[in-house]
Amino acid sequence: MPAPISEPRPRGLSRIRRAAVESVSGLPRQFWWLWTSTLVNRLGSFVATFLALYLTVERGYSASYAGLVGALYGLGGVISSVGAGVLTDRLGRRPTMLIAQLSSAVFVALLGFMTDPVAIAAVAGLVGMATNASRPAVQAMMADIVAPEDRVRAFSLNYWAINLGFAFSSTAAGLIAEHGYLALFLGEAALVLACALVVFCKLPESRPQAGGAADAPAEAAGAAHVSMLTVLRDGRFMTVVGLNLLLALLFQQAYVSMPVSMGRAGFSSADFGMVIAANGVLIVLLQIPVTRFIEHRSPAVLLIGSALLAGYGFGMTALAGSVAMYAVAVAVWTLGEIINSPTQMGLVVRLSPVHGRGRYQGMYSLSWSVASLTAPLLGGTVIDHYGPDALWAGCAVVGTVAAAGYGLLLRRLPGPAAASTSAAASATATTSATTTTPTS
């Protein structure tokens, strides 16, 4: 009797194809429209990347003025993070995104026509406010429409789209700028309008109605009264925000302190371009496969590991003496970034009451905005007074502190259902204690 013929094992290409299909399958159509809007938006993120060059090269302003404008852009993001979070819960996810995107398109186009230095600074602040205002709404809608077990994967795919769009826009912006910087401003405005069109035509409102949240029924009683005071009194969540601020301060060093450090060491801007390009390339290549590996693992272990990789990756910069070694250091902290982003976002949703997701996401976004505003000042001050090596050693210390903080905070992390119940109880208790205080 002939032996049964066994099917051949899938070859490498087949395995990759199957893994890719599994990575994107099972997510709702609404998520993919939201993902598309994110990609379109990031494809046009020209202005923030080239604003300093525009001001110093095209307009002839000083570096200190360009720094002031950049700080006002960041300050706008700080202001809008919390305000947009409140609007996300009050008006809804879709209206908040549309207001932010339409405002962004108007202000970005207007900035391209400004010539007075005061007007440029003021409009740049408005651009920063409008550009960052959609983030809490996007993240809250993603949490609304994706099942809890798929959220880490969804946040990872969204982060992948952000970096894919940024990689394209950074390359395209240099080519477009050769034909005039005004084309950058108008091009970004057009793509932001296209993003708003996708939201308007394809994305229905997803804000849960009171008592209608399937994944957190215990929140119905107190969720409608969640205020910013509720968020601030949520000690566990605010600790997560503080720890994220530490890591955000680390990641921001890549775009200010690293080029300064490399310049002092005698490397050219082209060398820095090659080194920082490794960050985007690795995220595009590894974000999805790494997420498949970490998707159902302990958030505590992943966040501890990502903090150590970020801290010691930047710490390795002090030992770098060649472009290759700088690239190795970038690869280490990029792996920490790849692990941290979807895991952290999943944790934020897990600790947020359903009807307060906008405010919680706004506070989380605030940590990134504060980091983008303060990291250049901190990095520059340390380099000027103590030297680059002290900064990179300090990054290793900060990463270690963040890892220890995650370890202590999350050693008894409740399951998703318990976290939802706890968040609801916190919201209800805060409401009872502040019945005379109007919600934010």
Helix axes 135-145, 151-177, angle to 10 degrees: 140
Q: For residue 49, give every residue at least 6 positions away whose Cβ sits within 8 Å of its Cβ, in sequence order, or none.
A: 166, 169, 170, 173
Report the b/e string of 286-302 with b at 16+ CB within 10 A: bbbebbeebbeeebbeb
Four-residue CA torsion sign, 241, 157, 162, 129: negative
Expressed in percent and rounded to 5, the helix, strand and coil fractions of the chain are 80, 0, 20
Which residue matches tokens 């595009």?
Answer: 284
Question: pTM of the full predicted structure?
Answer: 0.77
pLDDT category at 178 given cuts 50, 70, 90 is confident
Helices 135-145, 117-133: axis angle to 10 degrees equals 10
DSSP H helices in 134-268: 135-145, 151-177, 181-202, 220-223, 228-233, 235-252, 257-264
Segment 396-415 mean pLDDT: 86
Closest residue by Cα to residue 245 from 387, 78, 414, 48:
78
* Alpha carbon distance 205, 344 (integer Å): 25
Question: Both tokens of residue 386?
Answer: 């103590």
Reported as a single tens digit per residue, the pLDDT across 322-360 is 999 999 999 999 999 999 999 998 899 989 888 888 999
Element holding 109 (H helix, E strand): helix 93-113
Q: Which residues contact 261 (CB under 8 A, 6 or more apart)?
A: 317, 383, 388, 391, 392
For the segment 406-432, the average pLDDT, to the nearest whole number, is 55
Q: Look-up: residue for tokens 């997420």?
A: 291
Look up tokens 């103590």; give the residue: 386
Contacts of 17 (CB under 8 A, 6+ apart): none
> Exposed, middle or buried by CB within 10 Å (0-12, 13-18, 19+), for 200?
middle
Secondary structure (3-state) at 435 = coil
Under a CB-based contact definition with an 8 Å cutoff, are residues 108 and 189 in contact? Answer: yes
pLDDT in tens, 114-160: 999 999 999 999 999 999 899 999 999 999 999 988 888 888 888 88
pLDDT digits (tens, 9 = 90+) for 359-405: 999 999 999 989 888 888 888 888 888 989 999 999 999 999 999 99
Q: Give phi and psi for 211, each to the nearest 5.
A: 85, 0
Residue bearing tokens 């709404």: 137
User: Using an 8 Å Cβ cutoff, are 124 and 73 in contact?
Assistant: yes
Q: What is the mean pLDDT of residues 176-189?
A: 84
CB 279 within 8 A of CB 402: no
